[in-house]
Structure 1
Amino acid sequence: MRPILLQGHERSLTQIKFNVEGDLLFTCSKDNFINVWFSHNGERLGTYAGNNGSVWTLDVDPESRFMISGAADNTLRLWAVSTGKCLYTWEFPTAVKRVAFNEEGTQVVCITEQRMGHQCAIRVFNINKDGDGTNQSKEPLYMFNPIGSKATVCAFTLTPNVIITGHESGKVALFNVKSGEEIDNNERAHSDVVTDLQLSKDRTYCITSSKDKAARIHDTKNLMVIKTYNTETPLNSASLAPNRPYILLGGGQEAMNVTTTSARQGKFETRFWHKVFEEEIGRVKGHFGPINTIAVHPGGTCYASGGEDGFVRVHHFDDSYFRSKPYGDMEIMD
C-alpha cells in the first residue's frame, strides 16, 4: 500500500473528513487553513482561508454543497464547498471544538470550550439552504450547557433532536437538544478524555477513542458497550471500515514526549483491529509523530490519516485486502 503523501499544511492536523461520495477529502489543521483534495490521486483542489486561529473541526453536508468549520478564533463558519467562499460566520465567547451535520444536512451541532469563566455549551443551528446560503439565523435553534464534565465530541443520532456526546471525564451521553436534558449516560464508558467519536453509516452504533488507550463500540440508542479494543498507547482517533469487519485506530504518545521516543516505541502506526474478535490484525507505519485523526473512505476503498507531523497520508487498499474473505464465502454489505 504505497501511500499518497499530501503536503498542504504547515502544522499538525486536527481533523480529516471524506464527503459522502468519497471523492473529496477535507483536512484542517492548526495552521488556520482548510484544504480539499481529490481522494483518488491526492491532487489539491483548493484552500479555504479566513480563519485567524487553529481550525479544530469540520464537517461536510450530504450534498457536498456546504462545509462547516470550528476554530480557535471563537467562530463557526459556513463555506461554499465549490467556490471556497465563507458564506456566514457565527461568533462565540470561546473556541469551537467540534461540529457535525445531521443526516439531512439541515442542522449543525457545535461544542464550544469551557474557558475564561464561560461554561462548555452545545448549540444547534438550522442551516438555511435557500439561495446562496448567506442568509443564516444568527441565533441558535437550541442551546444548553451540559452539567458536570465538559463535552469534547458530539454527533446527531437517528432519533430526531437527540445527540450523542463524549466527555472529558470519559463519559458518553445522550442529550435531548430541545430541552438540554441528559436522556441517558454511561459514566464509565472510558476512564479518560474521549478524543474521537465516529458513527456507522446507518448511525445505529458509533466508535469512540480515548486517552485511556481503549476504543469502544457503543449502541447509539442505549449506550451499551458492544466491543472494546484495548491498546498500549493513548488513542486520538478511531474509524470504522465499511463492508469489512475492521476498525482503524490511531494515536501515539503525547506530542511533547515525542522527542524522547523512537518512532517504533512512540507507536505512531495506524492499527487495524478485527471488529468482532477484538484482535489486532495489522499495522501501517508512516507518520513521524502521533496520529491525530483517521477517516475511512465511505466506499471502503482507502483510508487517510493526519498526524502531528503536518502530513496527510492516503492509503488505497491493495487487491489482497478486497480478496480476503473475512466472512468466508458470504458477501456482507454494510
Structure 2
Amino acid sequence: MDKRKVAVPLVCHGHSRPVVDLFYSPITPDGFFLVSASKDSSPMLRNGETGDWIGTFEGHKGAVWSCCLDANALFSASGSADFTAKLWDALTGDEKHSFEHKHIVRACAFSEDTHLLLTGGFEKILRIFDLNRPDASPREVGNSSGSIRTVAWLHSDQTILSSCTDSGGVRLWDARSGKIVQTLETKSPVTSAEVSRDGRYITTADGSSVKFWDANHFGLVKSYNMPCNTESASLEPKLGNIFIAGGEDMWVHVFDFHTGEQIGCNKGHHGPVHCVRFSPGGESYASGSEDGTIRIWQTNPPNHEENHSGTGNAQTGKLKASTDEVTRKIEGFHINKEGKAEEKQKIANA
C-alpha cells in the first residue's frame, strides 16, 4: 500500500475505562453531537466537530454498554450493566427516566420519530418503551436466540434489527407483529450493525469480515475480509465510497467500498478499537478504544502537519448548565462550583 498523508486526530480524554460505543446525532441547527458509552459508568456528550466536552450524564452504577441521541439531539439514552436504560435531557444533563430491566442492557436505540426507545440485552428480549408514557409497561418483541448485542430501527420504524452475542446472523423483526421477517446469515456473531443514513445499506462486522446488505431487499451486496478480527465498521454517509473498520490490532482502517482495497490506516490507539462511526456529514469519523480515549479523524487529512492533540474551543450553544453552574471535568475528577474536588467512583467491569 502506498504511503498516505499522516492523519493527526483530535484526542478526546475524559473516560477512565474503555470506550465501547459511539453515536453521532444528525446535523441540527446547533451543529452535530457525539455521545460515548464507557465501562466507567458515565456517558459523555461532545461537540461532534471539535470533540469539545459538553457534559457527563451521571447516574448509572455499572458499565455503560450503549448510547444514542434522538434525531434532534435533545435527548440521549444509555444502556448499562446496572440493569437499567436511562433517558437523559441532552441540554441539561438531567436524568428524565430510568427503565428497569432484569439483566444487563447491552443495546438501545431511539425510533426515527423519537417517540420510542428500543432496548435489548442479556434477557434475550427486545423491549419498546413509549417515551410519551415512560411509566407504562413496555411492549416486548419476540424472544431472541441469545443475548442481544446490537439493535436498530429501519423502514421508518416498521422493522427492528438485532444481533446476538453468542450466535451469528442479524434478525429483522416486524415491529407490529413481533415476528422475524428475515435473517441475514453470518458465520460469526455480529458485533456491529449500522443502518446507513439514506436507508440503503446495513453494514455489519462479524469476526474478520465486514458485510454490506441491501436494507430493502436484504440481499448481500458486498463482503470483505479484514486484516484482523473486527469489532465495528461504518460506511461514509454522503457518497458511500469508503468505509472504516476497527478491531483488535488497535488501528482504524479505511477501505474503498467498491473494491475493498485498503486506502488508509490510522495508528494512535493503545488498545483494541471497540467502535468506529462516521460523522453525519462524512467529513470526519470517531473511534473509541480500550485505552479510554476517543479519537476524531479527518476523512481527508491536510497535507501539512498540524498539532491537534488538544480540542478546540468552539461554542455549541448546548451547555450542560449555565456558566456559573457548569462542572469542569479534569482527568477523572469533577470540580464543583465551590472548588472541591470529588473523585469519581470507580465502577468495576460488569
Give secondary structure in 2 for the equivalent of 1:171. strand
Q: CA deviation at 1:14?
A: 1.2
- Shift in alpha-carbon separation, 1:30–1:147, aligned structure 2, 3 A: closer
Q: Does 1:316 align with 2:298?
A: yes
Greater shift after overlay, 238-247 or 160-169? 160-169
Find the aligned partners of 2:125 and 2:42 in 1 and give their Cα distance.
25
Q: 1:155 aligns with which of 149, 152, 156?
A: 152
**Residue in 2 that maps onto 1:17:** 23
- Shift in alpha-carbon separation, 1:160–1:57, aligned structure 2, 3 A: closer
**Residue in 2 that maps onto 1:43:** 52
**Backbone CA RMSD of aligned residues:** 1.7
Find the aligned partners of 2:230 and 2:126 in 1 and give their Cα distance.
24
Q: 1:70 aligns with which of 68, 79, 82?
A: 79
2:142 touches 2:178 (CA, 8 Å); kept in 1? yes
**Residue in 1 that maps onto 2:168:** 170
1:75 touches 1:91 (CA, 8 Å); kept in 2? yes
How far does the alpha carbon of each residue in 1:36-69 deviate from its partner, in whole angstroms, 9 at most, with x for none?
A: 1123332211111000000110111111111111
Greater shift after overlay, 159-168 or 224-233? 159-168
Query: Size of the alignment, in residue pairs?
Result: 292
2:112 touches 2:157 (CA, 8 Å); kept in 1? no
Find the aligned partners of 1:183 and 1:226 in 2 and give their Cα distance.
19
Once the two structures are superposed, the pairs formed by residues 211-222 of structure 1 within 5 Å of their partners are 212-222=207-217
Find the aligned partners of 2:301 and 2:261 in 1 and give their Cα distance.
22
Once the two structures are superposed, the pairs formed by residues 66-105 of structure 1 within 5 Å of their partners are 66-105=75-114
Give secondary structure in 2 for the equivalent of 1:193. strand
Find the aligned partners of 2:131 and 2:203 in 1 and give their Cα distance.
27
Greater share of helix: 1
Q: Does 1:208 align with 2:204?
A: yes
Q: CA deviation at 1:205?
A: 1.5
Large movers: runs of 4+ above 6 Å: none
**Residue in 2 that maps onto 1:117:** none
**Residue in 2 that maps onto 1:260:** none
Query: RCO higher in 1 or 2 (8 Å CA, sep ≥ 6)?
Result: 2
1:250 touches 1:270 (CA, 8 Å); kept in 2? yes
Q: 1:277 aligns with which of 251, 259, 263?
A: 259
- Shift in alpha-carbon separation, 1:4–1:147, aligned structure 2, 3 A: closer
TM-score by length of 2: 0.79
1:143 touches 1:177 (CA, 8 Å); kept in 2? no
Q: Does 1:197 align with 2:197?
A: no
Q: CA deviation at 1:146?
A: 2.7
**Residue in 2 that maps onto 1:295:** 277
Q: CA deviation at 1:107?
A: 1.4
Find the aligned partners of 1:110 and 1:13 in 2 and give their Cα distance.
19
How far does the alpha carbon of each residue in 1:145-195 deviate from its partner, in whole angstroms, 9 at most, with x for none?
A: 434344321211115431122233111121123332111113xx3211110
Find the aligned partners of 1:164 and 1:41 in 2 and give their Cα distance.
31
TM-score by length of 1: 0.83
Find the aligned partners of 2:20 and 2:182 in 1 and give their Cα distance.
29
Once the two structures are superposed, the pairs formed by residues 254-269 of structure 1 within 5 Å of their partners are 267-269=249-251
Q: CA deviation at 1:207?
A: 0.1
Greater shift after overlay, 41-50 or 306-315? 41-50
2:157 touches 2:175 (CA, 8 Å); kept in 1? no
Find the aligned partners of 1:126 and 1:220 in 2 and give their Cα distance.
25
Tell me, which stretches of 5 or more residues in structure 2 are unaligned? 1-6, 304-350
How far does the alpha carbon of each residue in 1:206-235 deviate from its partner, in whole angstroms, 9 at most, with x for none?
A: 10111x200101112332111112013111
Q: 1:305 aligns with which of 278, 287, 298?
A: 287
2:35 touches 2:45 (CA, 8 Å); kept in 1? yes
2:17 touches 2:292 (CA, 8 Å); kept in 1? yes
Give secondary structure in 1 for the equivalent of 2:151. strand
- Shift in alpha-carbon separation, 1:112–1:89, aligned structure 2, 3 A: same
Find the aligned partners of 1:221 and 1:317 in 2 and give their Cα distance.
28
1:173 touches 1:223 (CA, 8 Å); kept in 2? no
